[in-house]
Chain A
Amino acid sequence: MKLSSKIIGFGLLVLLGLILAFAPVDRSSHPQVDSKALLAELQQRNYYISPEDLAHKIIDKEPGFVVVDVRSKEDYDQYHIPGSIHIPLSALLSSEELKDLARDNAIILTSNGNSMAAQAWLLLRQNGVDDVYILSGGMNHWVQVFSHPQPPGGAYTDDELFRYEFRKAAGSVMMGKAFVQEEQKQKVKIRKPVIRKRHKKTKKLDEGC
Chain B
Amino acid sequence: MAPFFKFGYFGPEVGLIIALISGIGFGFWLERAGFGESRKLALQFYFRDMTVLKVMFMAIVTAMLGLLYLTLFGWLDLSKVFVNPTFWVAQVVGGLIFGVGFAIGGYCPGTSVVGAVLGRIDAYFFLAGALFGMLVFGEMFSLLKNLYNAGAMGVVTLGQWLGVSSGMAAFLVTLLAVGMFVGAEWLESKFREEPAE
- Which residues from chain A sit less than 8 Å from chain B, CB to CB? 10, 13-14, 16-18, 20-26, 28-31, 128, 201, 205, 207-209
B130 contacts chain A at the CB level, 8 A cutoff: no
> Looking across the interface, which residue of chain A has its beta carbon closest to that of B66?
A16
For chain B, the bracket of interface size reads 20 to 34
Q: How far is the CA of A17 from the CA of B65 in the complex (A)?
A: 7
Return the contact of B166 from the options A13, A25, A31, A208 (Cβ within 8 A). Answer: A25
Q: Considering the complex, which residues of chain B in the window 145-197 have a beta carbon less than 8 Å from any beta carbon of chain A?
A: 159, 165-168, 170-175, 177-178, 181
B142 contacts chain A at the CB level, 8 A cutoff: no
Contact call A29/B170, Cβ cutoff below 8 A:
no
> Looking across the interface, which residue of chain B has its beta carbon closest to that of A20?
B167
Contact call A20/B170, Cβ cutoff below 8 A:
yes
B24 contacts chain A at the CB level, 8 A cutoff: no
Q: How far is the CA of A201 from the CA of B15 in the complex (A)?
A: 14
16 CB-based A-B contacts, threshold 8 Å: A10-B178, A14-B178, A16-B65, A16-B69, A20-B69, A21-B170, A23-B72, A25-B68, A25-B71, A25-B166, A25-B167, A25-B170, A26-B166, A29-B79, A30-B79, A201-B12
> Looking across the interface, which residue of chain A has its beta carbon closest to that of B74?
A28
Contact call A14/B71, Cβ cutoff below 8 A:
no
Contact call B82/A22, Cβ cutoff below 8 A:
no
B50 contacts chain A at the CB level, 8 A cutoff: no
Contact call A21/B11, Cβ cutoff below 8 A:
no
Apart from A23-B167, A26-B166: 17 A-B pairs, beta carbons within 8 A: A10-B181, A13-B178, A17-B65, A17-B170, A17-B174, A20-B68, A21-B170, A25-B170, A26-B159, A28-B72, A29-B71, A30-B79, A128-B79, A201-B11, A205-B12, A207-B82, A208-B84
Q: With A13-B174, A17-B175, A205-B12 in contact, is A25–B165 under 8 Å at CB?
A: yes
Q: How far is the CA of A207 from the CA of B177 in the complex (A)?
A: 27
> Looking across the interface, which residue of chain B has its beta carbon closest to that of A10?
B178
Shortest beta-carbon contacts, A-B, top 10: A17-B174, A21-B171, A29-B78, A20-B167, A17-B171, A207-B82, A25-B167, A21-B168, A20-B170, A25-B166
- Residues on A with C-beta less than 8 A from B174 are 13-14, 16-17
Q: How far is the CA of A31 from the CA of B171 in the complex (A)?
A: 23
Contact call A22/B15, Cβ cutoff below 8 A:
no
Q: In the complex, what's the smallest C-beta–C-beta distance from B3 to chain A, in angstroms?
A: 11
B127 contacts chain A at the CB level, 8 A cutoff: no
- Residues on A with C-beta less than 8 A from B74 are 28
Q: How far is the CA of A23 from the CA of B65 in the complex (A)?
A: 12
Q: In the complex, what's the smallest C-beta–C-beta distance from B112 to chain A, in angstroms?
A: 15
Q: How far is the CA of A50 from the CA of B151 in the complex (A)?
A: 43
Q: With A20-B72, A23-B72 in contact, is A31–B167 under 8 Å at CB?
A: no
Q: In the complex, what's the smallest C-beta–C-beta distance from A201 to chain B, in angstroms?
A: 7
Q: How far is the CA of A205 from the CA of B181 in the complex (A)?
A: 36
- Residues on A with C-beta less than 8 A from B108 are none
Q: Considering the complex, which residues of chain B in the window 77-130 have a beta carbon less than 8 Å from any beta carbon of chain A?
A: 77-79, 82, 84
Q: How far is the CA of A24 from the CA of B74 in the complex (A)?
A: 11
> Looking across the interface, which residue of chain A has its beta carbon closest to that of B178?
A10
B41 contacts chain A at the CB level, 8 A cutoff: no
Q: In the complex, what's the smallest C-beta–C-beta distance from B76 to chain A, in angstroms?
A: 8
Return the contact of B177 from the options A13, A23, A25, A30 (Cβ within 8 A). Answer: A13
Contact call A26/B167, Cβ cutoff below 8 A:
yes
Q: How far is the CA of A147 from the CA of B167 in the complex (A)?
A: 58
> Looking across the interface, which residue of chain A has its beta carbon closest to that of B160?
A26
Q: In the complex, what's the smallest C-beta–C-beta distance from A41 to chain B, in angstroms?
A: 14
- Residues on B with C-beta less than 8 A from A13 are 61, 65, 174, 177-178
Contact call A31/B72, Cβ cutoff below 8 A:
no
Contact call A29/B11, Cβ cutoff below 8 A:
no
